[in-house]
Structure formats: C-alpha cells, structure tokens
Amino acid sequence: MRTIAATNRDLRAAMKAGQFREDLYYRLDVVSIAMPPLRERREDIPLLATYFVAEYSRKCKRRVTGISAEARRVLCAYDWPGNVRQLENAIERAVVLGVTELIVPEDLPESILESDAVSNQPPAGYNETIREAKRQLIAKTLEQTGGNYTEAAKLLRIHPTNLHRLVRTLGMRESI
C-alpha cells in the first residue's frame, strides 16, 4: 500500500515539539518532495490555469477557449495563499459564471480582483483612474436607460451578466 500525504507544516519540527507522532512521521517520510508555494513559482500559474480551463470546460459542457491576457496578468499577480486548490476553484468559478469563450477579469473572484487593484496600483493612480472612469460610464449609462441593465449592457456592448459583475466589483451597488 502506498500513501501520498501533503501538508503546509514542518512535520519534523512538529514531531520534535511533540505535536506530531514520531512513528507516523517515519512511516510517511519515505520520499519527501518539498514543493514551494504557487507565489514562488508564478511561471506555473498560466499552465495550471489553462489546464483547469480545459478540465472545467469539459465537465461543465461549456465552450471556453482560453484566458484573456488581462485575466492572465491578474492571475499571475495574485499571491495564492490557498495555492493550487484556490487557483483551481477560481478557474472553475470563472468557467461556470463566464459568458464568453474567454475567461476575462470580471469572471474571476472579487477577492483576486481587489487584491490586484491594491497591489498593482502605480504611483500616478492609473488603476484608480480607470476604475473611476468605469464607474462614471456605467452610472451615466444606467441613468440614461432608467436603470435598465439589459439596455445599458447593449449600449456598453457587453453582456448583462458582465455589467452586473462590474457594478458589484466596482462597489456601485449602494449608489445605484
């Protein structure tokens, strides 16, 4: 019988501190492979994300052909505290909730988008300026259509689902 186990803890230190059984440690410690966290091997993120897109596209029976360059940049910039499992969940969510054949940033979980906006903000405030321009454009368009999301989405040339997601991501719910 073979057992494969993974942990984010130092089992040797836990064993020495009396927090992990010594006999179990030696049973598991036949072959050890140290795998650095995903944030230390960012070159793996696009490969893993592409793999997960193909897997969940097949499982969900939804045609998704890839990941947009901007979404790929957001994925690579994130620190992934949940490692590969968190990346997999983010891609699954994007495949399920997305409306186009490409994964776009709006399809990704808000926590990843918020982290990207905070961590990658240049000194001149470029990202905040773009976010504010989006807010103003969406607010003006929704005002123009009397709050009709479907009509506003048509005018903006985006899918209504993406408009709803943008409104939520930009924190505009309470102002509309």
Query: pLDDT tens digit string along 117-169?
Result: 545 545 446 667 777 888 889 989 998 999 899 999 999 989 998 888 888 88
Q: Provide the residue type at 10 as one letter.
A: D
| Residues 8 and 53 reside in one and the same domain | no
Question: Is-contact 93 53, C-beta < 8 A?
Answer: no
Higher pLDDT, 87 or 99: 87
| Residues 65 and 90 reside in one and the same domain | yes
Q: Using the predicted structure, report yes or no on whether residue 176 has a pLDDT greater than 80.
A: no
| Residues 48 and 72 reside in one and the same domain | yes
Question: Is-contact 84 38, C-beta < 8 A?
Answer: yes
Range of the domain at 23: 1-34
- pTM greater than 0.85: no
Share of the chain above pLDDT 90, in %: 52
| Residues 97 and 150 reside in one and the same domain | no
Separation CA 78–CA 119 (nearest Å) = 9
Number of domains in the chain: 3
Higher pLDDT, 8 or 82: 82
Domain boundary among 78, 96, 120: 120
Look at residue 84 in the predicted model and tell me its pLDDT.
94
Higher pLDDT, 171 or 98: 98
Measure the CA dihedral 128/79/81/125, to 10°. -10
